[in-house]
Amino acid sequence: MSVYLLRRLLQSVLVMLAMSVIVFVGVFAIGDPVEILISPDADQMERERAIKALGLDLPLWMQYLSFLGNALRGDLGRSFVFNEPALQLILQRMPATLELALGATIMALIIGLPLGLYAGLKPKSPLSSTIMAGSILGFSLPTFWVGLMLIMVFAVQLGWLPSTGRGPTVEVLGMRWSFLTWDGLRHLAMPALNLALFKISLVIRLTRAGVRETMLMDYVKFARAKGLSPARVTYVHVFKNILIPVVTVVGLELGSTIAFSVVTESVFAWPGMGKLIIDSINVLDRPVIVAYLMMIVLMFITINLLVDLAYSALDPRVRLENK
């Protein structure tokens, strides 16, 4: 098990290195931040001083090496715009995004699992057809449009839920969280649902397919032949097997949910990393863009690792092979 972990960590480091090169070169290719950052009236002297101060006069590989050297010391550069460390900017906004993404994931499981289970157990009932049709909508409606509709209905028409911001936050572990207060939860509800929509559909479809497939397995029939109650067969024998693919896929999706929370954060003015990155791209704030992308890569790698561990905890067959 520890050998396995070590190998995975080594792989992760290599992936991070490769990604850092790609990200750095990619961002360099986007455009010249000087044009945006320095006022058009500035004279040649001022321009050159600014370029030197930003380190933009060095060749690309030297810029990369100094970036890498700094990155290893936890310094991902200073934002051109905020004149603050880029990493700090991102870490400040990360709890908001994490909270949103995790809220959406939990919502997807709480709503998606029972609906998918029902649709799988009673495939011919009209309710199942409705659920499946709904899941197609969830896949195909654009997130920003659904977000706007949610605001129209729940904020504007009914006035039940606030439409922007995080609401009051509470500091825990040095980070600020909304979900710990009732008003914060009310602020979280709509954006989380908006972000969850796609995942709810995904969980419904995965669960239904899993139930349909597992119900045909010999071990389910054998469980029935033992005289177990239908509830025990469904919730222990079938459900535990379905959980494996669902947890794997939903876990792996967490990375993309964080990455794609950009749209939802923009619609609901949710002050997370997604909103920061959009603003930073608009002004070509390179250090922030690079730092953001590196954080996302790191997050994907961590999530994959955690999913693998969860997977082996759920599936005894995998557990043995790793020992």
Nearest Cα to Cα of residue 166 among 277, 253, 275? 275
- What is the sign, positive or negative, of the torsion defined by CA atoms of 198, 304, 273, 80? negative
In the complex with other proteins, which residue's Cβ is closer, 86 or 117?
Answer: 117
Rounded to a whole number of angstroms, the CA Rg of the chain reads 24
Minimum distance, C-beta of residue 4 to other proteins, in the bound complex (Å): 19
Residue 276: DSSP 8-state: H
CB-count burial class (<10 Å; 0-12, 13-18, 19+) for 201 = buried
> Between 237 and 286, whose beta carbon lies closer to other proteins?
237
Residue placing its CB nearer to other proteins in the complex, 20 or 241: 241
Q: Which is nearer to other proteins, 129 or 302 (CB)?
A: 129
CB contact at 8 A, 121 and 211: yes
Residue 176, classed as helix, strand or coil, is strand
Q: Are 112 and 204 in contact (CB under 8 A)?
A: yes
Cβ proximity to other proteins: between 159 and 316 the closer is 316
Least CB distance from residue 227 to other proteins, whole Å?
3
**Nearer to other proteins (CB atom), residue 251 or residue 255:** 251
CB of 123 to other proteins, least distance (A): 10
Give the separation between CA 195 and CA 215, rounded to whole angstroms: 31
Q: Under the rule (CB under 8 A), what is the footprint of other proteins?
A: 217-229, 232, 236-237, 240-241, 244, 314-317, 320
CB-wise, 20 or 214, nearer to other proteins?
A: 214
| Shortest Å, Cβ 219 to other proteins | 4
Compute CA distances 114 → 24, 118, 174, 191, 202, whole Å: 44, 6, 36, 22, 13
Cβ neighbours of 67 (radius 10 Å): 22
DSSP string for residues in 63-86: HHHHHHHHHHTT---B-TTT-SBH
**With respect to other proteins, which residue has the nearer C-beta, 241 or 264?**
241
Query: Please, what is the minimum distance in Å from the beta carbon of residue 207 to other proteins?
Result: 16
Rounded-to-integer distance, Cα 315 and Cα 61, Å: 46
Check residue 170 and report its DSSP letter: E
Neighbour count for residue 286 (Cβ, 10 Å):
24
Whether the Cβ atoms of residue 298 and residue 239 lie closer than 8 Å to each other: no
Residue 175: its H or E element: strand 175-177
Which lies closer to other proteins via its Cβ, residue 127 or residue 236? 236
State phi, psi for 175 to the nearest 5 degrees. -125, 155
